[in-house]
Amino acid sequence: MMKTVIRPLFKSFILNHPTNEDKILAFSAIFWFTIAFIGHLIFVLYIISLYGISLFEGDFDRWNAMMPKGYIEGDIAGNISIGVHLLLAAIISIGGPLQIIPKLRDYVPRFHRWNGRLYVSTAVIITLTGFYLTWVRGSVGGLVGAVAITINGILILLFSLIVIRYAMAGNFKSHRKWALRLFMVVSGVWFFRVGFMLWMLIHQKPVGFDPATFQGPFLTFLNFAQYLLPLLVLEIYFWANERARKTGKITTAAIITILTIAMGVGIFGATVGMWFPNIN
């Protein structure tokens, strides 16, 4: 296990001649990735269990358990859009984390290429169905929420294009960096749920937003932070990895570790409060 999985995984996160601070930074990145991967797996389990199983049982009312406009009788285009959106949500949430494991790419490059094509196509289609659901069908969160998720969607489309262009040009250093940026914006909706449940766990009641309209200052912040904060931390990680001195690397590792612990608590909150109650 140590020789075949952990050591290669660890090595792939660090530079060729690692110093101790490079190793500390690499450990913080692996810690973050491991917790994020587990959180994505639970999210996939929830999507399959709530939406997938009810689809096969023909129990479409369950689609409205977490959304006000999940299944609407007679709205064929809307129901197909949300159905496709949910199917792709499960695919992308499992394919994304697998795609960014560096050693998997080296051991099974064919898998990386096919999963990459699937991931980018899924990202594009899920975003287009998301635009339809947001602007045509209407979603919770009001205008600010709609604008924020639309910017998130535009970033997904833009980063997908850049990732493909760098892969086709054979510029794998830039391809990898943009793939990680793409992963962060694609995971925006997942970060939203984790951040929201962390907030609820801390306060034990709705604070900073109105639960009836699902709007308020905290949700305005979270609607944008769901993708801007992960992107910011990723840029700091790139800087620390490539250019920072000892103190910069160690400080970045500490920030990533603290944020990962907060993310872990949010995942726990989302799991017990939102996802597990809908898994059967």
CB of 51 to ligand HEM, least distance (A): 7
CB of 149 to ligand HEM, least distance (A): 4
CB of 189 to ligand HEM, least distance (A): 4
Complex with ligand HEM: residue 10 or 131, whichever CB lies closer: 131
Complex with ligand HEM: residue 69 or 176, whichever CB lies closer: 69
Report the residue number whose CB is nearest to ligand HEM: 130
Complex with ligand HEM: residue 49 or 251, whichever CB lies closer: 49
Complex with ligand HEM: residue 139 or 257, whichever CB lies closer: 139
Q: What's the 3-state SS for the chain? A: CHHHHHHHHHHHCCCCCCCHHHHHHHHHHHHHHHHHHHHHHHHHHHHHHHHHHHHHHCCHHHHHCCCCCCCCCCCHHHHHHHHHHHHHHHHHHHHHHHHCCHHHHHHCHHHHHHHHHHHHHHHHHHHHHHHHHHHHHHCCCHHHHHHHHHHHHHHHHHHHHHHHHHHHCCCHHHHHHHHHHHHHHHCHHHHHHHHHHHHHHHHCCCCCCECCCCECHHHHHHHHHHHHHHHHHHHHHHHHHHCCCHHHHHHHHHHHHHHHHHHHHHHHHHHHHHHHHHCC
CB of 100 to ligand HEM, least distance (A): 15
Residues that bind ligand HEM (CB under 6 A): 47, 66-67, 69, 85-86, 89, 92-93, 126-127, 130-131, 133-134, 139-140, 149-150, 152-153, 156, 186, 189
Complex with ligand HEM: residue 66 or 279, whichever CB lies closer: 66
CB of 235 to ligand HEM, least distance (A): 20
